[in-house]
Structure 1
């Protein structure tokens, strides 16, 4: 990911089939995303979208740079490893560093949203491996037809002064499987069991396939060659293979999160991306209650982390949620 530009999404229609395909790409079988009868009987009264579904707005951004356009040069491979000359980036590495969501209400089929973006913070740090780290943020507010906010999404890009090297890890069988994914319905976080220190674990994916990465590219609209094009990545970008979207990891973590706290209860959800996820990786999530609040609608704060089969931290985050 290069330095962020402001998105241009005047119209983002939320469609039932798109929600179903998005959930499928995450490996999320929660029927609230696809089963009209189940969703209609739920307290939410109908189908909603997964927590990270707003990424699908990429499809409706006319200026989105990570989508090939017919008749225009594409920087991914075709007859040659790259269709356009490599751009100079000053020797550093650009990457997606963080995403933070604030939820006002669930996204539902039939909504037509638009995006109101603004530039957020910009700051710098120093790293011993990468030199100066420059962070830039864009905050996008998704609003409905009446201008009422539905969610806010803050995306942070990072550019390093020096190139950061990454290598492919060992096979995904290097670590035993953690707790198996839950099957709905599950025992949800509630007033009786919501205590500081309560912890749960979940397997997000075992032996991640290139096909699932491509599947996520299709539903999210992010067709960056880093995630889809082996030839470009190995011969031009200098990576050992393609790697997964950070938002695929966050989306799969969202599945474990909603399995634990319930549907439509999230108030915030944020994640920092620490390590690339490669084909063949397995990912394991840990979720822990770190704070609770009393009141008519108690809110719990959770610490989130995702590790790979080598025990390496892929990323960490947080969430706040209503407690039933």
Structure 2
């Protein structure tokens, strides 16, 4: 569902929220295969427990990709100019990712278009933050 925005949002405007389905160990392994990160903390239950964790946990870039998909579905993948995230908490098997975005700045772009800056949040289902971030777009 890649949609390009035809209307420039205003400062303070929020994107419709989105909840991604519960993450599974299979999701973790699929992402590891695609990324090449095969650290056993993300797929080996025994190793994760012996390392002091209650279970395997997701590679943070999996959630970052989900958050990027969410915000580019809103404002358009072709228009994104910058995307940054801060990892806050791990995500475990069964966690859902609840994404939200709010426009914090809108300004004219030299040469045409409008620069839109959005604050991003991705919360676990219990309300604790998994990721925070920011994205910039230049809309036509």
Tell me the TM-score normalized by structure 1.
0.41
Q: Which residue does the alignment assign to 2:5?
A: 189
Cα displacement (A) at 1:207: 1.8
Deviations 1:241-293 (A, max 9, x none): 10001000000111101101112211110000111100000110001111011
1:253 equivalent in alignment to 2:74: no
CA distance in 2, matches of 1:193, 1:297: 10
Deviations 1:44-93 (A, max 9, x none): xxxxxxxxxxxxxxxxxxxxxxxxxxxxxxxxxxxxxxxxxxxxxxxxxx
Q: Which has the larger radius of gyration?
A: 1
Contact 2:8–2:139 (CA under 8 A) maintained in structure 1? no
Q: Which residue does the alignment assign to 1:301?
A: 117
Q: Which has the higher contact order (CA 8 A, sep 6+)?
A: 2
Cα displacement (A) at 1:298: 1.4
After superposition, the Cα gap between the structure-2 partners of 1:185 and 1:246, relative to the gap in structure 1 and judged at 3 Å, is: closer
CA RMSD of aligned residues (A): 1.3
SS at match of 1:207: coil
SS at match of 1:300: strand
SS at match of 1:321: strand
1:223 equivalent in alignment to 2:44: no
1:280 equivalent in alignment to 2:102: no
Long gaps (5+) in structure 1: 1-183
1:232 equivalent in alignment to 2:78: no
| Aligned residue runs from structure 1 range 1-324, under 5 A | 184=1, 186=3, 188-190=4-6, 192-200=7-15, 201-203=17-19, 205-235=20-50, 237-295=51-109, 296-324=112-140
Tell me the TM-score normalized by structure 2.
0.92
CA distance in 1, matches of 2:114, 2:26: 41
CA distance in 2, matches of 1:264, 1:234: 42
CA distance in 1, matches of 2:89, 2:120: 15
Long gaps (5+) in structure 2: none
Richer in helix (by share): 2
Cα displacement (A) at 1:185: 5.5
CA distance in 2, matches of 1:185, 1:214: 25
Deviations 1:4-38 (A, max 9, x none): xxxxxxxxxxxxxxxxxxxxxxxxxxxxxxxxxxx
Structure 1 segments (4+ residues) deviating >4 Å? none
Q: Which residue does the alignment assign to 1:56?
A: none
CA distance in 1, matches of 2:125, 2:135: 24
Contact 2:57–2:91 (CA under 8 A) maintained in structure 1? yes
